[in-house]
Chains A and B, each alone.
Chain A
């Protein structure tokens, strides 16, 4: 390899994180793509050494899953990428400091609905934190963010009237509804601090039962 690295650098080296699945992404050096290989290393902020990621050594992919290495969300991290092509190399290019707790995106909650004649019962489930393997114990994001809240939207499909609720626990009973009417429910996660929120879930529609006395 070269003593002095003359290859253009990888670009836009950054973490993309969803539910603390933390994946390093980058773009190929300007004007290059085919044949470029990469190496990846990472470090814990405040700790001296850089650690190589063997699974991403000499890879031609432009991403590298570092979820396992960055799973302790009480720590913060840096990662770095270097490009190689035909015996030439680039400099190491680093990410900004990555804080899994504040820099992750959160998926919408799971929504399940049931109905009676005049009410709808809604049960919400926060997504799980990324885990190394399915056998591992699940950790709900509710445990990571104890102040987690839900914003719930309920739409009367007939009148197009919509209500919004903000709740701390994961169940909501919406009373005094019209029998035999379709309602659509959508929900979002909101974490007051550190300030995070998911998108709204897709709509889950259900009809209240018909009024037996009518």
Chain B
């Protein structure tokens, strides 16, 4: 598909519709981020930026973060605006198909996290569960560009 990008994680390859996700997010970014009043905490970047993740762990951390968004975030991101909801659903569907693409890497044992990265993922969940679920989901959704910037 136009705008699909192939990510190489060692021998494993995952196709992602980055342009589609990015353009969907760009249209709702200001609206979603305006719903997040908490400046002092970042779910993905606290206390350490994703950029600190070792390149050997990028596959596993990316995969686990896609699981996090599909399993925990998108389902709590309903708004009063149908247009915004449609854009969120479209992004969620893209994440669902990307997660399936990661499955092959998982089966080929090319997507393994070491202890340090497991700590990072644990911290993300702690940051998320430290807030009430709607606030946490909106904050995580508003941080999608942090995830996409890091991945690219």
A: residues with CB less than 8 A from B are 43, 45-48, 74-76, 78, 96-97, 99, 101-102, 147, 192-195
Q: How far is the CA of A43 from the CA of B39 in the complex (A)?
A: 8
Pair B146/A96 contact, Cβ less than 8 Å: no
* With known contacts A76-B146, A96-B33, A193-B152, A48–B40 Cβ distance under 8 A: yes
Tell me whether chain B's interface is mostly helix, strand or loop, or mixed.
helix
B41 interface hit (Cβ, 8 Å): yes
Contacts of B45 in A (CB 8 A): 45-46, 75
The SS class assigned to the A binding surface is loop
Query: What distance in Å separates the Cβ of A32 from its nearest Cβ neighbour in chain B?
Result: 26
Q: Once the chains are docked, how many angstroms separate the CA of A194 from the CA of B30?
A: 16
B40 pairs with A193, CB closer than 8 A: no
Whether B149 sits at the interface, judged by CB under 8 Å, is yes
Question: Considering the chains assembled together, what is the distance between the CA atoms of A97 and B142 in angstroms?
Answer: 10
Using known A-B contacts A193-B5, A193-B152, determine if residue A46 contacts B41 with beta carbons closer than 8 Å: yes
Q: Is the CB of B34 within 8 A of A193?
A: no
Interface check B79, CB cutoff 8 A: no
Q: Contact check, B30 vs A193: say whether CB atoms are below 8 A apart.
A: no
Nearest to B43 among chain A residues (CB) is A46
| Chain A CB within 8 A of B46 CB | yes
Chain A positions within 8 Å of B148 at CB level: 193-194
What residues on A are CB-neighbors of B41 within 8 Å?
A: 46
Q: Mark B133-152, 1 if CB is under 8 A from A, else 0.
A: 00000000010011011101
Q: Are A74 and B149 in contact (CB under 8 A)?
A: yes
CA distance A193 to B19 in the complex (A): 6
B145 contacts A194, CB within 8 Å?
Answer: yes
6 A-B pairs with the lowest CB-CB distances in the bound complex, closest first? A46-B42, A48-B40, A193-B18, A97-B33, A46-B45, A46-B46
Determine the distance from Cα of A48 to Cα of B42 in the docked complex, in whole angstroms.
Answer: 10
Q: Is B15 at the interface (CB under 8 A from chain A)?
A: no
- CB-CB < 8 A to A96: which residues of B? 30, 33-34
Name 26 A/B residue pairs within 8 A (Cβ), A-sorted: A43-B39, A45-B42, A45-B45, A46-B39, A46-B40, A46-B41, A46-B42, A46-B45, A46-B46, A75-B49, A78-B39, A96-B30, A101-B145, A102-B145, A102-B149, A192-B3, A193-B5, A193-B19, A193-B22, A193-B152, A194-B22, A194-B148, A194-B149, A194-B152, A195-B22, A195-B23
